[in-house]
């Protein structure tokens, strides 16, 4: 299945980037787009946690990160990186510079392990943060409406207590 998805991405890239001549040029452009997407997501996570803490935007970013994490877990490789490697014919990866910071030779196995660890950690941390914000909002709504609910319950109880009294009171005709 991984091969079919990778070949499908290569085919799609070939059709969308029709103005480029060689497959290697298209692969390099796909790598640039992939790197830009990665940096954009990191920028948006920082932005939505500092300057613009929008719950909706954080939910949207978490959804995108969740989809990326899911394809990492299902295929044990980033499909876009796999397509880039096949199109260009090299073994470079987005994670290569990150691994080189720690003076480790960026082999495919090392970069795959680094990608899985970083994407899982990032997704887990952001998911827990989103869950805590969601539960905080639910708790706030519950505590705000609990006063209204208790008033409604008090009114309903008093209303139900007046029904037997109303039924016990004889009805008199006021027609004179």
Supply the pLDDT for residue 97.
82
DSSP annotation of 22: S
- The Cα 26–Cα 84 span in angstroms is 9
Supply the pLDDT for residue 165.
67
Supply the pLDDT for residue 103.
87
Low-confidence ranges of the chain (pLDDT < 50): none
The pair phi, psi for residue 131, each rounded to 5°, is: -65, -40
């Amino acid at each position: 299945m991984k091969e079919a998805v990778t070949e499908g991405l290569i085919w799609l890239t070939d059709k969308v980037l029709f103005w480029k001549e060689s497959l290697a040029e298209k692969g390099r452009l796909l790598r640039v787009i992939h790197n830009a997407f990665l940096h954009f997501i990191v920028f948006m996570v920082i932005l939505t946690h500092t300057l613009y803490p929008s719950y909706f935007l954080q939910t949207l970013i978490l959804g995108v990160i969740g989809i990326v994490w899911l394809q990492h877990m299902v295929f044990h490789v980033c499909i876009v990186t796999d397509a880039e490697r096949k199109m260009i014919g090299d073994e470079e990866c987005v994670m290569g510079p990150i691994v080189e910071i720690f003076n480790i030779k960026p082999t495919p196995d090392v970069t795959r392990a680094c990608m899985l660890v970083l994407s899982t950690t990032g997704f887990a941390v952001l998911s827990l943060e989103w869950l805590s914000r969601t539960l905080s909002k639910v708790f706030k709504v519950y505590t705000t409406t609990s006063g209204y609910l208790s008033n409604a319950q008090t009114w309903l109880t008093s209303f139900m207590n007046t029904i037997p009294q109303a039924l016990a009171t004889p009805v008199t005709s006021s027609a004179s």
